[in-house]
């Protein structure tokens, strides 16, 4: 009996070590709790983030232990990547946003147009009358397709309260500038006191694909008799653009 218990404890410990290794070194699941990345990521989406995409820092590991300084095996992220990072405000909270500016970039909104290094970022309007959520509020928006580094993805701007003009942002060395795809409902690098420029050591990983999605507004995922309403089957195993 004692041998049976000890063998099971060993098996459990090995399983935990393997799970910790996979979560820290390879991939980690994340849950989308807010609407800041609509229309591409919805509240209730669950996705996998690859931890090895940009190398490793202390934030690659649970509880951000001070195992080493800086970043090892570093690989530069690219404009257009969807990235999970620790917010500079507390170095603890996970945010997920789209990388728009790399070190040395100059960014500004002028008359609602995004300008990077004096070049207008190409957008194509897809829907003049669309909607996304901002918390529990429904926003009437225009949906555009934005193109950065030949990466095409959809972004939304509120019809009534669009972010038309901004100060000039100059991205410091070793830092990055992030925006939410739901441009008028996102706390991101435009808000320097809350998020601002994100240091490369704060990068956690690159969002790669969805593996599960449920609409909690329509009910609990445990109510299996309502799965046809609550589960977004069309989003299962969908690559993130």
The catalytic residues are: 36, 97
Question: Do the beta carbons of residue 149 and residue 167 sit within 8 Å?
Answer: no
Sign of the CA dihedral 43, 134, 188, 195?
A: negative
The whole-angstrom separation of Cα 31 and Cα 47 is 7
CA 142 to each of CA 58, 73, 123, 187: distance values in angstroms, whole numbers, following the listed order: 39, 40, 12, 19
DSSP E strands, the chain: 27-31, 45-50, 82-86, 94-101, 106-110, 113-116, 119-120, 123-134, 137-148, 151-158, 169-170, 175-179, 198-199, 203-213
Number of residues that make up the chain? 241
Which residue, chain included where needed, has tokens 């041998």?
A: 3
Helix locations, 126-231, DSSP H: 227-230
Give residues with Cβ within 8 angstroms of 212, minimum separation 6: 45, 46, 236
Question: Do the beta carbons of residue 162 and residue 143 sit within 8 Å?
Answer: no
């Amino acid at each position: 009996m004692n041998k049976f218990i000890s063998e099971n404890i060993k098996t459990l410990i090995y399983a935990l070590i393997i799970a910790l290794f996979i979560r820290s070194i390879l991939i980690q699941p994340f849950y989308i709790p807010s609407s800041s990345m609509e229309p591409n990521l919805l509240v209730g989406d669950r996705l996998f983030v690859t931890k090895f995409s940009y190398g490793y820092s202390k934030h690659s590991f649970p509880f951000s232990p001070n195992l080493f300084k800086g970043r090892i095996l570093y690989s530069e992220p690219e404009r257009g990547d969807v990235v999970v990072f620790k917010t500079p405000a507390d170095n603890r909270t996970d945010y997920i946003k789209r990388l728009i500016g790399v070190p040395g970039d100059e960014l500004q909104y002028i008359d609602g147009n995004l300008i990077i290094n004096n070049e207008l970022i190409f957008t194509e309007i897809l829907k003049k009358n669309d909607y996304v959520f901002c918390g529990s509020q429904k926003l009437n928006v225009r949906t555009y397709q934005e193109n950065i580094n030949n990466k095409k993805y959809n972004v939304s701007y509120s019809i009534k309260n669009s972010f038309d003009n901004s100060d000039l942002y100059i991205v410091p060395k070793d830092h990055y500038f992030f925006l939410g795809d739901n441009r008028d409902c996102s706390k991101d690098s435009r808000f320097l006191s809350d998020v601002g420029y994100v240091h490369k050591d704060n990068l956690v990983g690159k969002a790669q694909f969805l593996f599960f999605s449920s609409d909690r507004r329509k009910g609990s995922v445990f109510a299996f008799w309502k799965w046809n309403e609550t589960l977004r089957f069309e989003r299962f195993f969908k690559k993130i653009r």
